[in-house]
Amino acid sequence: MSATAVHTLWTMAAATPMSGETRDIGKIDAPHIEYAQLSPTLIVIGAALVGVLIEAFVPRKSRYHAQVFTSVVALIAAFAAVVALAADGYGTTKAHIAAMGAIAVDGPALFLQGTILLAGLVAIFTFAERRLDPETHGNKVDSFAAQAASVPGSDSEKAAVKAGFTTTEVFPLAMFAIGGMLIFPAANDLLTLFIALEVFSLPLYLLCALARRNRLMSQEAAVKYFLLGAFASAFTLFGIAMLYGYSGSVSYARIAHVVDGSVQDIDPALADTMGNDALLLIGTALVVMGLLFKVGAVPFHMWTPDVYQGAPTPVTGFMAAATKVAAFGALLRLLYVVLPGLRWDWRPVMWGVAIVTMLGGAIVAITQTDIKRLLAYSSIAHAGFILAGVIATTPEGVSSVLFYLAAYSFVTIGAFAVVTLVRDAGGEATHLSKWAGLGRRSPLVAAVFAVFLLAFAGIPLTSGFTGKFAVFKAAADGGAAPLVVIGVLSSAVAAFFYIRVIVLMFFSEPQPGGPTVAVPSVMTTTAIAVGVAVTLVLGVAPQYFLDLAGDAGVFAR
């Protein structure tokens, strides 16, 4: 058959309308994208691309200031865009599905995006800190490797340190991660969810490998995170394929209609697999497993302590706060929007996950001797507490989880920012024994860290107490009272190791030749001050923010 004949067949086939189709031949409908409503994400991704161009074209000595300025301005502008959208009613009366059904613009999405942007802004300040380490060869240094591509301890690394190189690529990497995190809780179909997952995961794998000191431990952490993260992504993708086979669509709304049996138009080609409960249950389990991996819930938590310990501490704080916010947002949307009709199947499983996560995180944390590993197990326990709110399956459950995530993220970044200040000759002094007597050496730093620990423990007049009270009340009202009892017992166990650190700091003798407390620049000082302020304000006068989370607790369907 000649090429002309093939071309004629192709054009004839293309020109023949399908059955029931009356559209104008030759006219392709352009996608309708609401750019203004997607502006927070577009601003952040745009800034990330500008950061890449800065790396390519700006002289090395000017890159640091250009990157910090670009990142900070973009995050402030994106937050202003979120506030403008919320003020315009897109969180309540105008909530809808945008971008051809791919992105939800509603209360939970805007609330979580605002939280991620503010947490990202505070984290960028800790990334930019350059006063904690002593100057090397007359150059200021930060927490990141001088040259990421060089082998630890090699001549090329020594030459890079001597030349005063810095890895300013961390700023565009962080911006790409934040961009993915903004899409993740707002995704309204499974493909958008998966793309957002990869967009924020890949930069985090790289950021974990870039510690200036303990390079080998940092690279080991990155490899572990990458391998386990790749497994989790593969499971998620397999689950997405199964849910597509079950419903014939990746759209959240379509899957929800097939689950509750209200779907009308069934494609004959999909009639054999549509409605197959095995595909639904296995697909749901695999997708939820991928999300539980990201929040660090037991038994998908094994990466958390090693990665938190090995990654540069500013990255650990950023990851611990922002990733949890994004992943819990996506989990809420999946369970409340796509699978409310499957509630009786997923709730018992989530009960089990929440119980082992709360108890596992709290009990194993008692045995830790490294402050970063202790905070890692603490974050696992907190994932269990937040799951209690998810299990409530009520509007109060959603709003309590939103509030808890906002409160938790600032406490976490503040706590890890304090960890960067306590130093000895080898860099950060993370072994608990070195924190003995810190309250006598530096009363202010020890007092600030004590505030964060009390918030983690859920002591009244801190944001942690308000958050725990909100999620436990929602869980009890939602019929999960036994879960609340286990949560309170886990909190009591967790309080033990938080208070143990406070006792160590204030009531132990300082060791001779112990660590010093570095004086930070205005960057880290701001990050810690914001953490303390949010912790106290949400603890003492939380009502406005609880109301805000309550108003933002309704998903667009």
DSSP for 218-282? HHHHHHHHHHHHHHHHHHHHHHHHHHHHHHS--BHHHHHHHHHT------GGGTTTTT-HHHHHH
Cα(378)–Cα(453) distance, integer angstroms? 10
- In the numeric block, the tokens 């992105």 are attached to 103
Average the pLDDT over 409-417 and give the result: 94
pLDDT tens for 115-131 read 999 999 999 999 988 88
- In the numeric block, the tokens 């961390």 are attached to 170
Where residue 14 falls among pLDDT bands split at 50, 70, 90?
Answer: very low
Q: Which residues contact 88 (CB under 8 A, 6 or more apart)?
A: 94
Where residue 413 falls among pLDDT bands split at 50, 70, 90?
Answer: very high
CB half-sphere exposure, 409, CA atoms < 13 A? 28
pLDDT tens for 166-199 read 888 899 999 999 999 999 999 999 999 999 999 9
Q: Which tokens in the block code for residue 281? A: 């249950």
Question: Cα angle at 163 between 159 and 164, to 5 degrees?
Answer: 120
Cα(408)–Cα(404) distance, integer angstroms? 6
Burial per residue of 284-309, b for 16 or more beta-carbon CB atoms within 10 angstroms, e otherwise? bebbbbbbbbbbbbbebbebbbbbbb
Where residue 270 falls among pLDDT bands split at 50, 70, 90?
Answer: low
Q: For position 441, what pLDDT does the model report? A: 86
User: What is the reported pTM?
Assistant: 0.91
DSSP 104-152: EESHHHHHHHHHHHHHHHHHHHHHT--SSSPPBTTB---SB-S-TTSPT
The amino acid at residue 299 is P
pLDDT tens for 334-375 read 999 888 888 888 888 999 999 999 999 999 999 988 999 999
Question: Phi/psi at 370 (nearest 5 deg)?
Answer: -110, 135
Coil vs helix vs strand at 289? helix
Distance of CA 76 to the CA centre of its chain: 18
Q: Which tokens in the block code for residue 162? A: 């001597």
Where residue 11 falls among pLDDT bands split at 50, 70, 90?
Answer: very low
As to burial, measured by CB atoms within 10 angstroms (0-12 exposed, 13-18 middle, 19+ buried), residue 20 is exposed
- In the numeric block, the tokens 């983690």 are attached to 456
299 prior amide bond cis, ω within 30: yes
The amino acid at residue 201 is S
pLDDT at 40 > cutoff 50 = yes
Q: Count other Cβ atoms within 10 Å, centred on residue 505.
A: 26
The amino acid at residue 510 is P
- In the numeric block, the tokens 């942007």 are attached to 117
